[in-house]
Amino acid sequence: MAAVLLVDKKNKERLMRSISLNTLFPAFCTSGLVVLATVALFALAQPAHSNAFGFIGDEEVEVTLLSRGRFIYPSSAQRREIEGNVVIEFSIDVTGAVVDAFVVEANPPNRFERNALRYVRSWKYEPVRQGGVPAVVEKVRANVAYRLAE
């Protein structure tokens, strides 16, 4: 699934939708809506419950994303048709919440970082247990891509 921001050109309405990539292009071609922004996490083709990897000590563990907050494409970047990419590293606490998030890389710099951090901090993961005890997972990375579609 991909989160997609759609704007109806006639009514200037913004609609946030989660749709599969298989339905993205038919909807784009037939509905009269223009796709202005999409978000990518690791790869656009992966579903919202995609898995990632982090570490408990030296052991690599898989973490499962349960939910995401609202993705917002910054309006100033959208107006100027600026695209970009932000890599964020974070930890997942014992409840599955994202904590200690920070930007590893951003291109272009000083454009999308604050928005990407806010978005990633809204995510909720399935809590990880090690030996039956809840554990903190560190060094999880996410790639948040800001792309405009024609």
Whole-model pTM over 0.75: no
User: In this structure, is residue 34 part of a structural domain?
Assistant: no
At 143, phi and psi to the nearest 5? -110, 120
User: In this structure, is residue 131 part of a structural domain?
Assistant: yes
Torsion of CA 82, 85, 89, 92, to 10 degrees: 80
User: In this structure, is residue 84 part of a structural domain?
Assistant: yes
Total number of domains constituting the chain: 1
User: In this structure, is residue 128 part of a structural domain?
Assistant: yes
User: In this structure, is residue 14 part of a structural domain?
Assistant: no
Q: What is the pLDDT of residues 85-134, one digit of tens each?
A: 999 999 999 999 999 999 999 999 999 999 999 999 999 999 999 989 99
Q: What is the pLDDT of residues 53-64, one digit of tens each?
A: 999 999 999 999
User: In this structure, is residue 137 part of a structural domain?
Assistant: yes
- How sure is the predictor about 21, in pLDDT bands with cuts at 50, 70 and 90? very low
Looking up residue 138, the CATH number of its domain turns out to be 3.30.2420.10
Q: What is the mean pLDDT of the chain?
A: 76
- How sure is the predictor about 46, in pLDDT bands with cuts at 50, 70 and 90? very low
Which pLDDT value is given to residue 150? 66
Asked whether the predicted pLDDT for residue 149 surpasses 60, the reply is yes
Which pLDDT value is given to residue 106? 97
Domain limits for position 97? 40-145
CA-based end-to-end distance of the chain? 20
User: In this structure, is residue 79 part of a structural domain?
Assistant: yes
- How sure is the predictor about 51, in pLDDT bands with cuts at 50, 70 and 90? confident
User: In this structure, is residue 23 part of a structural domain?
Assistant: no
